[in-house]
Amino acid sequence: MVLAAALVAGGLAVCSRGSGGPGTSNPSPRVLLPTSPTALPQYDPDQFQTMLAQLKGKPVVVNVWASWCGPCKLEAPELAKVSRQFDGRVQFVAVDIEDQLPAARQFITTAGWSYPSVFDPPAAIRNDLGFIGQPVTVVYDATGHRVKAYSGATTARLLSTELSTLV
């Protein structure tokens, strides 16, 4: 998993078939960032890490949530506010865990999130990030280095202050 992310981050292409010799071309890797907040494609940890590697170049905020989670409901408007404040300068991505798609889509709509979320029913991405429970918010700098993590609901003030140091 780490090797795959490193290869993508380093801009190296890996061929799965063919010689890769003269006259062949390697297609660009598919961009994994969902284009719609409510698309909720199901990702595993490897796909998620590949997507994070594709986002290098600007700070990234990852929020792990669930529609049935009380603290997630409390922080949802805070996240929406900060994502609007840093629109275009910081990429927000959410990870919906242990949930049902209709409830998750309704949560995103009610929260007013304009950023994408991926679907992770077994919570494998959260576990791979090294956390237990939700919500969790992780901040990465533009190089992809984890600089801050909040376990439990965060506030717009805390997150905005942290992001101001990165942009």
Task: Tell me the average pLDDT of the chain.
Answer: 86
How confident is the model at residue 29, as a pLDDT? 57
| Domain residue spans of the chain | 32-164
How do residues 73-112 score in pLDDT, each as one tens digit? 999 999 999 999 999 999 999 999 999 999 999 999 999 9
DSSP assignments along 26-71, one per residue: PPPPPP-S-SSTT---B--HHHHHHHHHHTTTS-EEEEEE-TT-HH
Q: What is the pLDDT along the chain (167 residues), one digit of tens a residue?
A: 333 333 333 332 222 223 334 444 444 457 689 999 999 999 999 999 999 999 999 999 999 999 999 999 999 999 999 999 999 999 999 999 999 999 999 999 999 999 999 999 999 999 999 999 999 999 999 999 999 999 999 999 999 999 999 99
CATH code that applies to domain 32-164: 3.40.30.10
